[in-house]
Amino acid sequence: MQPDSAIYRTRRQRVLDEMGEGVMVVATAPEVPRNRDTHYPYRHDSYFYWLTGFSEPEAVLVLVGGAEPRHVLFCRERDEEREIWDGFRYGPAAAREAFAFDEAFAYDTLDAELPRLLENQPLLSYIIGRDMAWDTQMIAWLNTVRGKVRSGVHSPHRLVDARIWLDEFRLVKDAHELALMRRAAEISAGAHRAAMRATGPGCHEYEIEAELLSAFRRGGAEAPAYTSIVASGANACVLHYVFNNKPLRDGDLVLIDAAAEFGSYAADITRTFPVNGRFSTAQKDAYELVLAAQAAAINEVRPGSHWNAPHEAAVRVLTQGMVDLGLLHGEVAGLLESEAYKRFYMHRTGHWLGMDVHDAGEYKLKGDWRPFVPGMTLTVEPGLYIRPADDIPEALWNIGIRIEDDVAVTESGCEVLTTPPKTVSEIEAWMQG
C-alpha cells in the first residue's frame, strides 16, 4: 500500500465508523465544457478527493458500512485510443491496488452495480441537493431497489446528507494536510513578493496578475486557488474585483488577493501596498489601522477562544480607528452597537480554509460560536474601504486596504502560515530592493 493510499483509507474508515450501517456514495466533479470542443481545466470534487486521493473524472466512491465494511471505487476503464489523446488512466484494477480499495468497477457499470450495493441497507448517504442531475440519478437507483420488494429486498429507509459527517472531519486538518497547506502558503507568499517587486507606475493590473500566475506554476502549484484580484486605486474598494485591466497610477495603492493551490489545498493571501513603493501619510495611517486590527484578531486564534472572537477584536480596533481618522463620529460603544463601521468594513474577518478556499465546516454549534481546536485552519482578513463622499477627508478617498493571512490553530495558540512583507517598513524596503 502506498503511503498516501493509507492516509485516504484511514479517512474512509473513520467515516464508516461514524456512519455505522449503511451506504455512502460520493461522486467526483464532472468535466465542464468551455466552448465547442474544449473543457475548463479539470478539478476533482474536494469531498471525493479527500476520501480517495483519486483525481480522474468519471469516478464514484461507495462506502459500505457494517460488520464487514467495503471501500468500492467506480472509475473509467483503460482505453488505449483515449489515452493517446488525453493521457494516462488507471483503470479499475490498477486503481484498486494504488488507492487501497476492496473492489473497483468500470464507471459504466454503475447502473448495474450500485442498486445491488444499496439492497437491504438501512441508510443511504450522499451530498443532497448540490446537483439536480445527481439527485435524479440517486432516486432512479433507489427506485430500482424498491422494484425488488416482492423478492424480499428492501431499500434504504433513511436518507442522510453526507456533509453532516464529511464537513466535521474535513474541518480539523491532520499533519499531512497541514504540510500541504504550508507549501501552498510558501508558494503564494513568494508570488506576492514577486508581484510587489514587479509593481510600478505605468504597469497594468494584468501584468501583475501574470507575475502571480507565473510564480504559482514555478513553485509547483497546480493552479490558482481562486481568481486573482489585482485592484488598484478605486478598484480596491470593490471587494471581488477581478477585471484586472486598469493601469497602475503613481500615488495609488494596489490590493492583491491571490494564492495558489498545491496538492489540492488552497492558500489565501491579501496584501495592499503603494504602486510607487512609498505610503503617503494618509495611506500609512489607514494601513496601520488595518494591520493593528489583524494583529488583535490573530491574537484571539487559540484553543478555548471561539470563531467570532477574532472578528469582534478586529471590529473594535477598526471602529476606534475610524473615529481617529474622522470617518465616524461618536462613542465607540454606540458605533459598535449600531454597526456604523459597516460603511467602511462590511465583511467578516475570516473563513475556514482547506481544500476549498471557503472550506467545509459549520461556524456555530447549537447556536453558539464554535470553539477553536488544534488543526483548524482559517483566514484572518480585516479591511477598510473608503469611497469618496462629502463627509470623508479627501486624503482618504479611494483607499481600499485588506490584509489577509492563513492561520492554523495549534495546541498553545496559532501558527501564521503566510509570510509576505506586511509592515509598512517591510513593504517599502522590499519594493525598493
Catalytic residues: 37, 240, 257, 268, 347, 351, 358, 381, 385, 402, 404
Write phi, then psi, for 103 (nearest 5 degrees): -145, 155
Closest to 253 measured CA to CA, from 56, 386, 146, 416? 386
Whole-angstrom distance, CA of residue 230 vs CA of residue 252: 13
Q: How many C-beta atoms lie closer than 10 Å to residue 408's C-beta? A: 21
| 185 three-class SS | helix
Whole-angstrom distance, CA of residue 262 vs CA of residue 180: 7
Phi-psi region of 251 (alpha: psi -120 to 50; beta: other; left: phi over 0): left
Write phi, then psi, for 16 (nearest 5 degrees): -65, -40
Tell me 64's DSSP state. Answer: E
Closest to 418 measured CA to CA, from 298, 269, 287, 293? 269
Tell me 228's DSSP state. Answer: -
Tell me 250's DSSP state. Answer: T
Q: How many C-beta atoms lie closer than 10 Å to residue 97's C-beta? A: 14
All three cell numbers of 363, joined, read 461556524
CB contact at 8 A, 13 and 34: no
